[in-house]
């Protein structure tokens, strides 16, 4: 068996050393890690090994003297309900449609359809996973909000990750300044974390439901961004202004 020459290895390293390839590899590794984490959580749920952890963390957010009472004053409980609504189907559909209409009005029709398909298919995946696992909702404490579907994975946590992370990444690509990109992405992550945490606080989800929702939603969002990247390179969806400049096409000048 012949060993690869140093020259061939150098060419391969240079080929993988481009920024585009590095991002692709990083995305694939992140998606694989998140997929593995979701599979591990699902296996723990099926085997029933996570029940002790779920009970401990759920009760940690409750008054030790009265488990039916969430920690904190009444106004904080109401705030948690407001936060959890940010991951509801109605709010997410409104935000997605608002962004889609904005993209259409600015002439990015193919990007608009990509956003609608990415978020819509993520919602379908969430419903399918719930029907498949059919995990009962927590019965340790009263539910502080109405529930309609099964518990695993958390649809609020998953769809918050799918919607907010995908939209934030698309918006961040239009911003030339790094600190603006970081702000947009950080805000999306904070909202996603807050929505998932509120589900456990309100007693409508086990903690592992939320963890699974975060991992599945983040993996789906990264996968959508990887597909969007592939489509942009083939001119199948519109490129962002920043990408257009990088590819050598002239950016519009701003009169001074």
Look at residue 1 and tell me whether its pLDDT is greater than 70.
Answer: no
DSSP state of 165: I
Phi, psi (degrees; rounded to nearest 5) at 238: -70, 140
- Decide if pLDDT at 141 tops 80: yes
Check whether 113 has a pLDDT greater than 80: yes
pLDDT at residue 12 greater than cutoff 50: no
Alpha-carbon distance of 64 to 71, in angstroms, equals 9
Could you report the per-residue pLDDT of 79-93, keeping only the tens digit for each? 999 999 999 999 999
Residue 251 pLDDT exceeds 90: no
Amino acid 254: pLDDT: 42
Q: Which residue has the higher pLDDT, 132 or 175?
A: 132
- What mean pLDDT is predicted for residues 19-30? 66
CB 217 within 8 A of CB 160: yes
Residue 233 has pLDDT above 90, yes or no: no
Is the per-residue pLDDT at 14 higher than 90?
no
Measured CA to CA, the distance from residue 48 to residue 58 in angstroms comes to 16
d(CA 23, CA 41): 27
Of residues 224 and 7, more confidence is placed in: 224
Can you tell me the distance from the alpha carbon of 149 to that of 98, in angstroms, rounded to the nearest whole number? 26
How far apart (Å, rounded) are the C-alpha atoms in residues 191 and 160? 8
Q: How many CA atoms lie within 13 A of 155 on its CB side?
A: 27
**Average pLDDT of every residue of the chain:** 83
Q: What angle do CA 67, 68, 70 make, to 5 degrees?
A: 80
- What pLDDT score does 107 carry? 87
Helix (H, G, I), strand (E, B) or coil at 175: coil
Contact predicate 138/67, CB 8 Å: no
pLDDT band, very low/low/confident/very high, at 240 (cuts 50, 70, 90): low
Alpha-carbon gap, residue 125 to 120, rounded angstroms:
9
Q: In the predicted model, is pLDDT for residue 17 greater than 60?
A: no
- Residue identified by tokens 């004053």 is 73
The per-residue pLDDT for 11 is 54
Please, what's the largest Cα pairwise distance for the chain? 72
Model confidence at 10, in pLDDT bands (50, 70, 90)? Answer: very low
Residue 99 CA to residue 104 CA, distance in Å, equals: 9
Higher-scoring residue by pLDDT: 70, 239: 70
Range from 8-17, 44-53, 211-220 carrying the lowest mean pLDDT: 8-17
pLDDT tops 50 at residue 172: yes
Helix 178-201 vs helix 74-85: crossing angle, to nearest 10 = 120
Is the entire prediction scored with pTM above 0.85?
no
The per-residue pLDDT for 245 is: 46
Tokens describing residue 138: 């927590």
Checking if the pLDDT of 35 tops 80, the result is yes
Mean pLDDT in residue range 1-10: 49
């Amino acid at each position: 068996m012949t060993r690869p020459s140093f020259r061939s290895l150098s060419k391969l390293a240079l080929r993988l050393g481009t920024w585009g390839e590095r991002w692709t590899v990083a995305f694939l590794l992140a998606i694989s890690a998140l997929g593995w984490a979701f599979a591990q959580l699902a296996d723990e749920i099926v085997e029933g090994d996570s029940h002790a952890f779920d009970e401990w963390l759920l009760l940690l957010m409750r008054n030790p003297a009265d488990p039916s009472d969430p920690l904190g004053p009444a106004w904080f409980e109401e705030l948690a309900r407001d936060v959890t609504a940010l991951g509801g189907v109605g709010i997410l559909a409104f935000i997605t449609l608002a962004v889609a209409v904005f993209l259409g009005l600015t002439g990015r029709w193919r990007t608009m359809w990509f956003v609608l398909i990415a978020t819509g298919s993520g919602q379908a995946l969430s419903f399918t996973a719930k029907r498949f696992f059919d995990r009962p909702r927590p019965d340790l404490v009263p539910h502080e909000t109405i529930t309609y579907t099964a518990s695993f994975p958390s649809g609020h946590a998953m769809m918050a990750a799918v919607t907010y992370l995908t939209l934030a990444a698309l918006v961040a690509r239009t911003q030339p300044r790094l600190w603006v990109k970081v702000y947009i992405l950080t805000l999306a992550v904070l909202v996603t974390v807050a929505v998932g945490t509120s589900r456990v606080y309100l007693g409508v989800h086990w903690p592992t439901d939320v963890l699974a929702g975060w991992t599945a939603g983040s993996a789906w969002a990264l996968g959508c961004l990887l597909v969007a990247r592939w489509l942009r390179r083939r001119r199948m969806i519109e490129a962002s202004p920043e990408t257009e400049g990088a590819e050598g096409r002239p950016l519009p000048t701003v009169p001074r």
